[in-house]
Structures are given as C-alpha cells and as structure tokens.
Amino acid sequence: MGHAYTPGLKVTDNTTIVKERKLPLKGEILVKKGSRVAALDIVARTFLPGNVESINVANKFSLPASDVEDVLLVKVGDKVEKDQIIAKNRGLFGLFKNELHAPVAGTVETISNVTGQLLLREPPHPVQINAYIDGIVKEVIPEEGVLVETRGVFIQGIFGVGGEAHGEVHVVVDSADKSLTPEAIGPECKGKIVVGGDFVSNAALAKALKVGAVGVVAGGFDDSDLKDFLGYDLGVAITGHEDKGITLIITEGFGKIRMAQGTFDLLKSVEGQVAHINGATQIRAGVIRPEIIVPHAEGGAPEKKTDEEGELVKGTPVRCIREPYFGLLGKVTALPVELTELESETKVRILKAKLEDGREVTVPRANVELIES
C-alpha cells in the first residue's frame, strides 16, 4: 500500500531544529561556523540606507537651476548637521540676505543644475539580527546570514500574533481544560511565557500584557477578541509584526478548545526553563506556524528516530479540523484503500479514528491534521 500524507503540527520533546537568520540586505557576519551562540547574541549586522530629503534650492533663492551652486556652501559628499547653513546669497548692497538650513543631518548626495535640487541622505540605520535560539552555528551564508541548529522541545501552534520573544515557561493552570483567567496572572508572570489550558480571554491577555509577560500560550481564543486586542481587523497576510509587546500562541483553534494533553504535559515538563517563541503565522502558500522552542542542555539525549515526516499510519495521533468533530483528538485505527462515497456523492479516501472520548469515527482524510510527536 502507498503512503498517505496529511498536513500537521509538530509537538515533540526532542528533535533537531534549524533556524535561518538572514539580513534584509548584504552585510557582515559576526560568528563562525561551529560557534556556540545564545539566543540574544548578535550574529549578523548591516546598515539600511537613510531616507533622502529633497531640498529645492533654486526655488528657495528664486534662481535659475544652473546658478544654484553659486549660493551653496556645501558640495557632494559633505556631511552636514541639522540646522547647519548649507546655502546663502550675498544680498543686494548687503541687504535682503537669505539663508538655507539643513532640515536633517546627513550627507550631500547630489546637486542638480537641471532641477535646482539638492538631495540630502540621512545617516544609515543599523540592523542587527540575533541567533533567536541557543545552539550551534551550522552554516554561514557569506554576507547574508547563518543557520543556527539546536536540539530540544518543539511545539507548533495553529495561530499566533506577535514576534519573537524569550522567557521562562510558567504554567498557571493545573489541567489542559482550565481557562486562563485574569486572576491567575500576577506580578510573578513578568518576563515569562504564561501557559493556560483551553482558553484565554481578552481580559486575561490584557492582564498578562499589563504585568509584563512576554508571551501567552493557550488552547483557544475568541476570534472576535482578536480585533479588540489588535485594534484592527487582521487580514490574510503573515502575522508576527504586531507591535503589542506580547506574543500570543493558540495551539488548537478559535473558541474554547481543550489543549491537547500531550502539548500541555510537554509544556508542564519544561516549566521554569527558557523558551523561545514566535507568533508568526501564514496559512496560504508557504505555511508558517507559530512555535515554541525549548533547547536541551548541551549533551542532552540523542534525537528520537521517527517515521517519515507527514506519514499517516495506524496509531498516528490526529486532530479533526472540520465539523462535526472539529478540534477533537484521536488516533488512526484504520486506513481503507478504497474510495468512499460521501453524502455529497463525492468519492474520497477516509480513515477511521478512535477519539479521546472513546468514540470510533470515520472521517475524510482531508478533514484531519496530523500531530507529529
């Protein structure tokens, strides 16, 4: 029988993780291949060109464009400070003098005797990228970036907002079906990644932000609360650039959905350890999942050998992603080869699964998501 594949999330306590850290344009690499790096270590840097300020000198002095150099006190390549006098006319009989001050600090880039304009380039903006995770520099991409490798806990979520963050894992509920409430979040959550159970309310998220938590992880979230939290409707583009001061990761979906027991137990097992999280999510081409990474200490257990990634076999843990079993977890018990006709008269491949509540159900394979563990 041929292999069957289905998209899925990774939830594993020991796997190899490789992260690409690239500059937006060519720059300088600050580490070498094989170097051990910490999450906040700067591994590469570059400079983005500053903004250009256009100054109409001819208009300012009511001169022909070809005569602007007669009043300029600077030339191409000169550095100037903000409010520095860069042009001045002699006036008539010492009267009616006129001066032009630099609106910003920068470097004179061009002077045109055709348009009469001077272009002033502001100083470049430094851009630095850190390693994001504790690990080893696996590869150096000259002038562009590095690949950082580590081994550890790796958990992918369904949806997230907010960018990269780092902090200790702090589980504030005692079971996967307990909601994260504002009352459970106190000053001790400052600088930490707060973990709840089946749901986080907008009020709880606001409380976490207020006390200084860097991240929140929970099974579900109300989609209507998302607009209130962000202050705008979220489109279909990639998330992760939201400037809210906190990263939110949802592991199961929208609504009140119990966090998968395996995910909850794994987060509980790393409580007090530093995790690296990123809420970036993209659901269209080039899928990007929010993630939680907890690197193992150097010399930890070797990586487990697993079946081929994405392979659907008997015993594979899955999550139903469409009604009537949306959000429910189970394990595959059978994978019939023949096509099965649905009520819609469409013929599809199906699977049988035993849900956590004990029910044996039959669902189209396209209606489940594999949980790689």
DSSP, collapsed to helix, strand or coil, labels residue 267 as helix
Q: Residue 93: what pLDDT?
A: 52
Q: What is the pLDDT of residues 246-280, one digit of tens each?
A: 999 999 888 888 898 889 999 999 999 999 999 99
Q: Which of 310, 319, 293 is nearest to 14 (CA)?
A: 293
Two tokens, residue 266: 């794994």
Which positions ≥6 away from 322 have C-beta within 8 Å? 363, 367
Q: Which of 297, 227, 34 is nearest to 140 (CA)?
A: 34
Question: Concatenated DSSP letters for 117-153?
Answer: EEEEEPPPEEEEEE-SSSEEEEEEETTTEEEEEEEEE
Of 167 and 225, the structure prediction assigns the larger pLDDT to: 167
The two most distant CA atoms of the chain are separated, in Å, by 100
Of 345 and 94, the structure prediction assigns the larger pLDDT to: 345
Question: How far is 13 from 155, CA to CA, in rounded Å?
Answer: 8
Q: Residue 4: what pLDDT?
A: 43
Q: 371 pLDDT band (50/70/90 cuts)?
A: confident
Strand 247-254 relative to strand 274-278, pairing: unpaired
Asked if the model's pLDDT at residue 304 lies above 90, the reply is no
Q: Which of 158, 175, 150, 200 is nearest to 10 (CA)?
A: 158
Provide the whole-model pTM: 0.78
Q: Please, are residues 9 and 260 in contact by the beta-carbon 8 Å criterion?
A: no
Q: Which of 197, 143, 132, 141 is nearest to 166 (CA)?
A: 132
User: 52-121 adopts what CATH topology?
Assistant: OB fold (Dihydrolipoamide Acetyltransferase, E2P) (2.40.50)
Query: Which of 3.40.640.10, 1.20.1530.20, 2.30.30.30, 3.40.50.2300 would CATH assign to domain 311-372?
Result: 2.30.30.30
Helix axes 202-211, 223-230, angle to 10 degrees: 40
Q: Residue 30: what pLDDT?
A: 97
Rama region for 281: left / alpha / beta (φ>0; ψ in -120 to 50; rest) = beta
Q: Do domains 52-121 and 158-289 have the same CATH topology?
A: no
Q: What is the pLDDT of residues 105-115, one digit of tens each?
A: 999 999 999 99
Domain ranges of the chain: 52-121, 158-289, 311-372
**CA gyration radius for the chain?**
29
Q: Please, are residues 98 and 114 in contact by the beta-carbon 8 Å criterion?
A: no
Q: Please, are residues 300 and 284 in contact by the beta-carbon 8 Å criterion?
A: no
Two tokens, residue 274: 């530093």
Strand partners, 170: 194
Q: Residue 227: what pLDDT?
A: 84
Asked if the model's pLDDT at residue 362 lies above 70, the reply is yes
Q: In terms of residues, how long is the chain?
A: 373
Strands in 42-48's sheet, in edge-to-edge order, are: 28-29, 42-48, 125-130
- Tokens 């022909």 found at: 64
Asked if the model's pLDDT at residue 233 lies above 80, the reply is no
Mean pLDDT value across residues 36-54: 95
- Is 158-289 a domain of CATH 3.40.1000? no
